[in-house]
Amino acid sequence: MDTTIKKICAGDIRTASRLIRDIEDKLPDAKAKIKKLYAHTGKSFIIGITGAPGAGKSTLTDALISEFRKLNKTVGVLAVDPTSPFTGGAILGDRIRMQRHAEDAGVFVRSLATRGALGGLSQAAGNSIHVMEAMGKDIIIVETVGIGQQEIDIINHAHTVLVVLVPGMGDEIQTMKAGLMEIADVFVINKADRAGARQLQTELSSMLNLSPKTADGWKPPIVMVGNAFDPATFDENTAELAKKIEEHHLYLQQSGMLTERMHRKAMTEIKDALSACLMEPVMHSLVTDGDLEKIAEKIRNRKSDPYTAAEEITEKFFRKQAGK
Amino acid sequence: MDTTIKKICAGDIRTASRLIRDIEDKLPDAKAKIKKLYAHTGKSFIIGITGAPGAGKSTLTDALISEFRKLNKTVGVLAVDPTSPFTGGAILGDRIRMQRHAEDAGVFVRSLATRGALGGLSQAAGNSIHVMEAMGKDIIIVETVGIGQQEIDIINHAHTVLVVLVPGMGDEIQTMKAGLMEIADVFVINKADRAGARQLQTELSSMLNLSPKTADGWKPPIVMVGNAFDPATFDENTAELAKKIEEHHLYLQQSGMLTERMHRKAMTEIKDALSACLMEPVMHSLVTDGDLEKIAEKIRNRKSDPYTAAEEITEKFFRKQAGK
């Protein structure tokens, strides 16, 4: 076995961290490593946590780590920040808050960020999760802010998805209808000691009763979590949350939904890899032939359009392949 | 000429709106229309406006519309909301705020949203801009929240990019370093009557002095815009802003940078179209042959990995093409 793979499978933190960094930096070598690593993945239980900035996701993640550690489970945490520099700083905060687990060899925390205009963050997240799976982590928590397209792609790597809400965020329930209902397996109303918590719970509950998702046999529970500065209640609440997560895990296994979710994930991974695999040789031949510049020029001058050009390029490429 | 195209080129609002909706809904027919429309595009000046939620982008857009209308220019506005339902509601607000231009035939305002898990929002934005170009709008304003990867893709459709900041948003300057410097052509410090506006200006100014971007010959100016409820100052400030935008436009034209930006945009459009064009037949043959399910199963069982599978699929597809 490849030394890197062997080390990662033995849980070596430095080797794993380096590979995650290489994935983030899109080094070509990272892909080759993931190929070899893949056979050692797929056994971890993956939990996704999402919610608005300031909803308290990191505090919850931290509390869940403690709960899972009590059960002797090893935990990997991936904090993904696809948001703008405007709302930045979250990742630094995460790391500081989870510091208390820093000395625990059973806990491995990493973060991924966009770093400007790179893209492909969801794929990088998926591959970083694979590294943690190969390390043998029992549970992997993926944390991300908000639910845009990119965040949905990221959170789709999870088996169980937690959506964290806090009272008093305005017309949250209304706007939520757009996309949250479809992805949440467990709802958390955090900072539930605040005014409006009960009302939020009631509204959410009646929405859930109307949701078609419950027809699958799983009705997303709503867990109320109190103020973290009231440790007795907070610990009780987060233990309850960990229990609900475990219940959903069991449900996924028994209903066959886990297999279905892993199948869907495999599909996404093939499509992503395929898209890159098809584009690479075509782009390469376009660049080396000098065609790309010529075509871009034609499009810029409106002598052609991108769709017609794409069809012509594809046809030419296939003909060239056929001639080989 | 196709009736739809003829109507859009004549500025027909209903036909244009319908095509933008079809683009958003990804109807296959929309692509065919864009192909035909493309020759009539590329003549508008496109302005991108981005900034954090609550930075006052819509108020500025509204003020800029008035400024451009005074100069007898027709204006198209595209408000794109790639953000989560958590921060939702912005689009509704935009429309309400721009209501006062609703009766003005020289102004056309549309919005695009993610609508759950569709994706491809940047391409949809690009094509919606093309519709407004074909309508003959002199100026098109694209407004979007934040600067994640998706927002950068959206804002890259613009020739001149405005980044809107407000005082008192915490460690903004620090986090900004990540990606904003590269995309801003003009900075706006909005709500400049607030405490901290001068300090923000000073910090931004010293960062700009260190930025390599100024080497291109354009140093992004910082325009201070006061409270919208103090109309005299506000109007003066926004007139100044419109002037700086026009200066950048002139700079782009005279320096040859406009051609370069349009060339880069053409490149992006080819790549997007090409990716779709290549994936379509491969996915189609995978699905009809029943191979996709089998491969996903193999990956789920860790008998293969996505990258190896993608290479095999590509090779097989090319062989099949060669045999035709």
Q: Cβ of B147 and A85 within 8 Å?
A: yes
Which residues are B75's β-sheet partners?
B107, B139
Hey, which residues 43-72 in chain A have their CB within 8 Å of chain B?
Answer: 51-52
Residue A308 CA, chain-centre distance (Å), reads 36
Residue A299 in contact with residue B266, Cβ under 8 Å? yes
Is B203 inside any structural domain?
yes
d(CA B249, CA B47): 9
Residue A306 in contact with residue B270, Cβ under 8 Å? yes
Which of these three, B195, B228, B255, is where a domain ends?
Answer: B255
Reference A103, options A13, A19, A16, A20; nearest CA is A13
Would you state the pLDDT for residue A51?
81
Q: Are residues B175 and B241 in the same domain?
A: yes
Query: What are A32's two structure tokens?
Result: 């080759």
Q: Strand pairing of B186-190 and B222-225?
A: parallel
Tell me which of A144 and A96 has the higher pLDDT: A144
Chain B contacts of A172, Cβ < 8 Å?
86
DSSP class of A25: T
Residue B260 CB coordination number (10 Å): 12
3 state SS of A80: strand
d(CA B151, CA B88): 15
d(CA B244, CA B241): 5
Arithmetic mean of pLDDT over chain A: 84
Q: Cβ of B277 and A114 within 8 Å?
A: no
Would you state the pLDDT for residue A305?
96
Is A3 inside any structural domain?
no
Q: Are residues B236 and B316 in the same domain?
A: no
Query: What are B4's two structure tokens?
Result: 């739809």
Q: Are residues A246 and A145 in the same domain?
A: yes
d(CA A136, CA A119): 28
Q: Cβ of A86 and B262 within 8 Å?
A: no
d(CA B270, CA A293): 11
Chain A contacts of B164, Cβ < 8 Å?
none
Is A260 inside any structural domain?
no
* Closest chain A residue to B147, measured at CA: A84
Question: Between the CA atoms of A46, A49, A50 and A52, what dihedral angle is there, to the nearest 10 degrees?
Answer: -160
Is A264 inside any structural domain?
no
* pLDDT average, residue stretch B243-263: 94
Distance from CA of B286 to the nearest CA of A (A): 11
Q: How confident is the model at residue B56 (pLDDT cuts 50, 70, 90)?
A: confident
* pLDDT average, residue stretch A299-318: 92
Please give the residue range of the domain that contains residue A310. Answer: 271-323
Q: Cβ of A305 and B34 within 8 Å?
A: yes
Any idea what the CATH number is for the domain that residue B111 is in?
3.40.50.300
Q: Are residues A165 and A306 in the same domain?
A: no
Hey, which residues 302-321 in chain A have their CB within 8 Å of chain B?
Answer: 302, 304-311, 313-314, 318, 321
Q: Cβ of B299 and A270 within 8 Å?
A: yes
Reference A306, options B281, B15, B81, B42; nearest CA is B42
The helix (H) or strand (E) run that includes residue B78 is: strand B75-81
Q: Cβ of B52 and A87 within 8 Å?
A: yes
Which of these three, A198, A229, A255, is where a domain ends?
Answer: A255
Q: Are residues B94 and B168 in the same domain?
A: yes
d(CA A242, CA B249): 56
Q: Are residues B191 and B276 in the same domain?
A: no
Q: Cβ of A321 and B318 within 8 Å?
A: yes
* pLDDT average, residue stretch B175-190: 75
Q: Cβ of A84 and B148 within 8 Å?
A: yes
Whether the per-residue pLDDT at A120 is higher than 60: the answer is yes
Residue B279 CA, chain-centre distance (Å), reads 25
Is the minimum CB–CB distance between B93 and chain A shorter than 8 Å?
Answer: no
Which residues are A225's β-sheet partners?
A190
Q: Among A255-264, B38-47, B145-154, which stretch is predicted with the lowest mean pLDDT? A: B145-154
Q: Cβ of B278 and A277 within 8 Å?
A: no
Is the minimum CB–CB distance between B267 and chain A shorter than 8 Å?
Answer: yes
Q: Are residues A155 and A299 in the same domain?
A: no
Would you state the pLDDT for residue B246?
96
Question: What's the total number of domains in chain A?
Answer: 2
Cβ contacts below 8 Å, chain A against chain B, sum to: 252
Would you state the pLDDT for residue A171?
46
Is the minimum CB–CB distance between A93 and chain B shorter than 8 Å?
Answer: no
Residue A190 in contact with residue A214, Cβ under 8 Å? no
Amino acid present at A259: T
Is A34 inside any structural domain?
no
A interface mutation test: which of B278, B280, B286 has the most A CBs within 10 A?
B278
Is the minimum CB–CB distance between B278 and chain A shorter than 8 Å?
Answer: yes
Q: What is the tens place of the pLDDT at every residue in A27-54?
A: 889 999 999 999 999 999 999 998 877 7
Chain B contacts of A169, Cβ < 8 Å?
86
Q: What is the DSSP string of A224-267?
A: EE--TTSHHHHHHHHHHHHHHHHHHHHHHHHHTHHHHHHHHHHH
Distance from CA of B228 to the nearest CA of A (A): 22
Residue B156 in contact with residue B265, Cβ under 8 Å? yes
Q: Are residues A304 and A193 in the same domain?
A: no
Q: Which residues 6+ apart lie within 8 Å of B10 measured at CB? A: none
Residue A253 CB coordination number (10 Å): 13
Q: Are residues A148 and A51 in the same domain?
A: yes
Q: Among A60-74, A87-101, A228-242, B84-98, which stretch is predicted with the lowest mean pLDDT? A: B84-98
3 state SS of B105: coil
Whether the per-residue pLDDT at A95 is higher than 60: the answer is no
Whether the per-residue pLDDT at B224 is higher than 90: the answer is yes
Arithmetic mean of pLDDT over chain B: 84
Q: Cβ of B149 and A82 within 8 Å?
A: yes
Distance from CA of B222 to the nearest CA of A (A): 18
Q: Are residues A231 and A311 in the same domain?
A: no
Chain B contacts of A174, Cβ < 8 Å?
88-89
Is the minimum CB–CB distance between A272 and chain B shorter than 8 Å?
Answer: yes
Q: Are residues B160 and B213 in the same domain?
A: yes
Which of these three, B199, B227, B255, is where a domain ends?
Answer: B255
Whether the per-residue pLDDT at A147 is higher than 70: the answer is no
Whether the per-residue pLDDT at B92 is higher than 50: the answer is no
Q: How confident is the model at residue B116 (pLDDT cuts 50, 70, 90)?
A: very low
Q: Are residues B246 and B194 in the same domain?
A: yes
Would you state the pLDDT for residue A86?
46
Chain A contacts of B85, Cβ < 8 Å?
147, 175-180
Is A251 inside any structural domain?
yes
Q: Which residues 6+ apart lie within 8 Å of A173 measured at CB? A: A200, A203, A204, A207
Residue A278 in contact with residue B274, Cβ under 8 Å? no
Q: Cβ of B310 and A273 within 8 Å?
A: yes
Residue % of chain B over a pLDDT of 90:
48
Is the minimum CB–CB distance between A83 and chain B shorter than 8 Å?
Answer: yes
Residue A225 in contact with residue A238, Cβ under 8 Å? yes
Q: Name which of B35, B182, B272 is nearest A116 (Cβ-Cβ).
A: B182
Is the minimum CB–CB distance between A168 and chain B shorter than 8 Å?
Answer: no
Q: Is pTM beyond 0.95 here?
A: no
B interface mutation test: which of A145, A272, A278 has the most B CBs within 10 A?
A278
Is A4 inside any structural domain?
no
Which residues are B225's β-sheet partners?
B190
Tell me which of A221 and B26 has the higher pLDDT: A221
Is B29 inside any structural domain?
no
